[in-house]
Amino acid sequence: MKKSIIMAGLLACIGLTATAQEVKTEKLEGEPIIQVFSNFHTGFGDNADDLGFELERSYLGYQQEIGKGLSVKAVMDIGKSSSVDDYQRIAYIKNALIQWKSGSFTLNGGLISTTQFNFQEKFWGYRYIMKSFQDMYKFGSSADLGLSAAYKITDWLSADAIIVNGEGYKKIQKKNGLNYGLGVTISPIKNLQIRLYGGLNENVEEGKKDIINAAAFIGYKCKAFSLGAEYNYLKNSGYNDGDDLYGFSAYASVKVAKSTDIYARFDDLNSKDDFNIANDESAAILGAQFKVGKNVKIAPNFRMNMPKADGVKDYYSAYINFYFGL
């Protein structure tokens, strides 16, 4: 009897040990997300007192595959207030999503990255230096709560659709309207990419109008250089009838050494009947990027902002942008 009890105890211990080993073996490893954008900048002439170091943005998060084509991702966005009188840091949850991939089909749900200008931002490739055109001039939000789906139809054609709240990731849903978007990406020849996108942000308030967004992009990218141009149109911005914004952005980069790029960009923003004349402008940037190891980038650049309002002087500045990422 004692031998049976001892044997049963040993078997139980072996079983628990084996189970523990199996659990340990099945443990899935994830990947941390760390990105930090900072700069040192100075203005010139009348703006020479605009001088200092700036920590623009930090992204902290984690992503992990959980099997059967599923993965999860969560990212915290730590930035600064848009108010010049507010010196406090602000933090938002930018992504909290689950993704499912099966063959050529991808489905995202939760607080997801939007598809309105994500493609252009990746092609531009210097987000830590300057936002893409639509993000810069508030044509839409880079993340929102909802669903998106993408399907690669052929090697040269893919399509995507998105349905989100429309308020962006920094605000809670306070209206019943939704934001719908459809996109098509075409690669007719090697390295050439064409992107078309259309979206509608529903209005539910009396006296207001739906917001309509349309964008077209064409770009060529190879190992030696890249060239891209986009045209963007936003009808009824702020849900206001006739408050239309439109403009284009053109950018290029050239790899001059293994770890060195030269880049340039020109933006031009306009508004219908000059309703937004205080913010309408042309803007240009010229600079270089140096990669220091695997995780650090340094990018000195010179910028010009040319307001279209009468009597407002052009603004000239120099930046040194810094990037750290894992």
263's tokens: 């880049």
Beta bridge partners of 55: 38
pLDDT (tens digit per residue) in 14-57:
344 444 444 444 466 799 999 999 999 999 998 999 999 999 99
Tell me how far CA of residue 228 lies from CA of 71, 115, 187, 274, in angstroms.
32, 18, 14, 27
Q: For the residues of 9-75, what is the DSSP string, one character each? A: HHHHHHHHHHHHHHHHHHPPP-EEEEEEEEEEEEE-GGGTT-EEEEEEEEEEEEEEEEETTEEEEEE
Higher pLDDT, 167 or 211: 211
**Angle of CA points 115, 117, 123, to nearest 5°:** 110
CATH class of the domain whose range is 2-325: mainly beta
**Which of 57, 66, 59, 114 has its CA nearest to residue 89?**
57
Task: Tell whether the model's pLDDT for residue 145 goes beyond 50.
Answer: yes
Share of residues in the chain with pLDDT > 90 (%): 82
Q: Mean pLDDT across the chain, nearest whole number? A: 90
**Which of 246, 7, 42, 31 has its CA nearest to residue 137?**
246
- Kindly provide the b/e burial profile for residues 289-303, where b requires at least 16 CB atoms within 10 angstroms of the residue's own CB: bebeeeeebebebeb
User: Domains of the chain: which residue ranges?
Assistant: 2-325
Task: Tell whether the model's pLDDT for residue 305 goes beyond 70.
Answer: yes
Q: How confident is the model at residue 6 (pLDDT cuts 50, 70, 90)?
A: very low
pLDDT (tens digit per residue) in 45-91:
989 999 999 999 999 999 999 999 999 999 999 987 666 555 677 89
Sign of the C-alpha dihedral, residues 45, 48, 50, 51?
Answer: positive
Share of residues in the chain with pLDDT > 70 (%): 89
Q: Which residue has the tokens 């938002």?
A: 92
pLDDT (tens digit per residue) in 38-50:
999 999 998 999 9
Instruction: Tell me the pTM.
Output: 0.88
Residues 6+ apart with CB under 8 A from 210: 177, 200, 201, 202, 203, 236, 239
